[in-house]
Amino acid sequence: QKEVEQNSGPLSVPEGAIASLNCTYSDRGSQSFFWYRQYSGKSPELIMSIYSNGDKEDGRFTAQLNKASQYVSLLIRDSQPSDSATYLCAVPASGGYNKLIFGAGTRLAVHP
Amino acid sequence: GAVVSQHPSWVICKSGTSVKIECRSLDFQATTMFWYRQFPKQSLMLMATSNEGSKATYEQGVEKDKFLINHASLTLSTLTVTSAHPEDSSFYICSADPGLAFSFDRTDTQYFGPGTRLTVL
């Protein structure tokens, strides 16, 4: 089992819809969770971090964390074509190595 | 805040030459920096963890003698690809962890540089 799993997509949603991106992780002891956005040919950009169970909202983005079920999701409301990118979920590696384990990413395509 | 730069942004070199890539944290000090490589349409691959003042920790399968990492100061890490070959052509990205420099962050957040695209002819 991979440590961080994401559906590779592509996830295609119409403009204005809610895009829902999911991520599961294997380490029950994980305490921090991150969502990065990566446009084609560019480096990843941090968009959300979440540490506690429940929802965390930032503009059109909402991160949801459920530690019991070991999943973290990212909702994008009012999706725009400019949201089309690959979204990477990341979790700190176990063992205190101060590094992140990234999922393979979900490609989101928002069509007008 | 939390700005990371990389230089150069792209480089083309001949096979057999060495290429140095710099990664700088501009508005914070980073005791830990990370180097990644990404091939087209593939996910990020961590190459090594760079700690200021000590030897880098390489991931399994990454040749430490080919990919030399130096983290000489709290704001600068360099990656040197030695004797580059066409198969080394890739997108190299660094990231830095600001630790507790920013009150809203914890010690495991990474901020990425813009990346360096290396093409070896």
Average pLDDT over residues A9-28: 95
3-state secondary structure B74-103: CCEEEEEECCCCHHHCEEEEEEEECCCCCC
Q: How far is B116 from chain A (nearest CA, A)?
A: 9
Which amino acid is located at B102 in the chain?
F
What confidence tens digit (pLDDT) does each residue in B21-74 have?
999 999 888 888 999 999 988 889 999 999 888 889 999 999 999 999 998 898
What confidence tens digit (pLDDT) does each residue in A34-52 have?
999 999 999 999 999 999 9
Residues whose CB is less than 8 angstroms from the CB of residue B39 and which lie 6 or more positions away in sequence, other chains included:
B45, B90, B91
**Is the CB of residue A52 less than 8 Å away from at least one CB of chain B?**
no
Mutate to test the interface with A, among B110, B111, B117, B118 (most CBs of A within 10 A): B110
Q: Are A66 and A9 in contact (CB under 8 A)?
A: no
Q: What is the DSSP letter of B13?
A: E
CA distance A10 to B38: 19
What confidence tens digit (pLDDT) does each residue in B4-19 have?
999 999 999 999 999 9
**Is the CB of residue B98 less than 8 Å away from at least one CB of chain A?**
no
Question: With 50 as the cut, is the pLDDT of residue B96 above it?
Answer: yes
**Is the CB of residue A32 less than 8 Å away from at least one CB of chain B?**
yes
